[in-house]
Chain A
Amino acid sequence: MSVALNIFSIIAIAAGVFFFFAGSVGLLRFPDRLTRMHALTKADNLGLGLVVLGLLPRADSPLGALKLVAVWLLVQLAGATVTQLMARAARREESAPRSSP
């Protein structure tokens, strides 16, 4: 049983790290801001989500597991809000006459 859970943790965490990698590469390589933001949300939602999923069987108490899930949900909420706000800020920065430094 514990071997199966360990394998599950390893697969989920490895997949999570892959999405962090994808998010970082996207942030560096994508050509414009809105697509870069798109890459960012992959790390927030899938990267952290899979890491949390992989750590869940290893939580030492139900409260610990609840905290892990709460962390993921809070980061999702923050990510969704911030990308909305920043997309608008980016559009404003581009349309303003005095644009980027």
Chain B
Amino acid sequence: MIVVTAVDIELAVLVLAVAAWTIAARQAFPAVVGYVAYGLLLSLVWVRLYAVDVALTEAAIGSGVTGVVLIGAATRLRGTEAEAAAEQPRAFLRLAAAALCVGMTVALAAAVLLMPDPAPTLAPEAVAHLPSTGLGNAVTAVLLAYRVVDTMFESVVLLLALVGVWSLAPDRDWGGAPKFPRPAGQDGVLTFFAQLLPPVGIVVGIHIVWIGADEPGGKFQGGTILAAMWIIAMTAGLVDAPQISRCWLRLVLVAGTAAFLVIGVAGFAWAAGFLAYPEGYAKPLILVIEAFMTLSVAATLGMLVGGPPQQELRR
């Protein structure tokens, strides 16, 4: 038992050290590398807390796709970094920021430390009603049955984020394709990698979506892996990034939200109300939503990493 505690303490100290270093780093790029390392350590923490669903999300999104977005941002901003660092904000502003941060930390610490023991939990209830959904994974039941409205709005938020990125496009490029940074000339190593990895990754991604009903996994984690495979293929130049005006692309982007809405509205007719599932049909309907959401998540994340369109519309 002592060994287990020692390793847990080691992990906690490492997470705190990397977090402190990430905040203290003076340049953007080392901070981003620290953030990627931090995400990896966090997914180890989630496994230690027996929250494998969250660990998968952190591994795929926190350390994977977010890391790539931030690396792109840091390298783009490098030219302006010296200028930005030279601008010293006024003492009052810095003190106010520090006070706000300290206040936030104290509030969070108080919320955690003052929690009643044992903490209030809905976990037994969530597990007790699991048979009525036909699912084996309580996390999936929360996301797609008990609190399905939240998940639907999350899918809307993802779409809005992409609309926000696209709105940064200059007028002349509107409707065109985003550009993935690529080294000049053909790169054999990258091509080989992008030919070998995606077939494996697509199988693993679909596997993670599929087992999500009964084991840790699900649409978000699986969809993110599929998105990563698509991004790798686009970066290596094996497939072209789609033009954002393409009809099929827009259909795939909204497919998940549309599935939510159709099944949700149909709930008025054949069940108790919006997004209620009829008796005995919960699992097949959840699988339909998950399938469409996987496609939408993969397409949206792929386009988010690509950024606003940078190539003129070709017809």
Contacts and interface: CB of A to CB of B under 8 A. Distances in A.
**A touches B in complex, CB < 8 A:** yes
Interface of A: 70, 74, 77, 81, 84-85, 101
Contacts of A84: 189
A63 B204 CA distance: 12
Interface in B196-215: 196-197, 200, 204
B196 A77 contact: yes
Contacts of A77: 193, 196-197
The secondary structure that dominates the B interface is helix
Contacts, number: 16
A74 B193 contact: no
A81 B200 contact: no
Q: Is the interface on chain B under 10, 10 to 19, 20 to 34, or 35 or more residues?
A: 10 to 19
15 contacts: A70-B200, A70-B204, A74-B197, A74-B200, A77-B193, A77-B196, A77-B197, A81-B189, A81-B190, A81-B192, A81-B193, A85-B187, A85-B189, A85-B190, A101-B27
A95 B189 CA distance: 21
Max chain A CB contacts within 10 Å: which of B27, B193, B196? B193
A21 to B, nearest CB: 15
A85 B189 CA distance: 8
In the A-B complex, the 7 residue pairs with the closest CB atoms: A81-B193, A84-B189, A81-B189, A85-B189, A77-B196, A77-B197, A101-B27
A74 B198 CA distance: 11
Contacts of B204: 70
A70 B204 CA distance: 10
Contacts of A101: 27
Given A70-B200, A85-B187, 9 more contacts: A70-B204, A74-B197, A77-B196, A81-B189, A81-B190, A81-B192, A81-B193, A85-B189, A101-B27
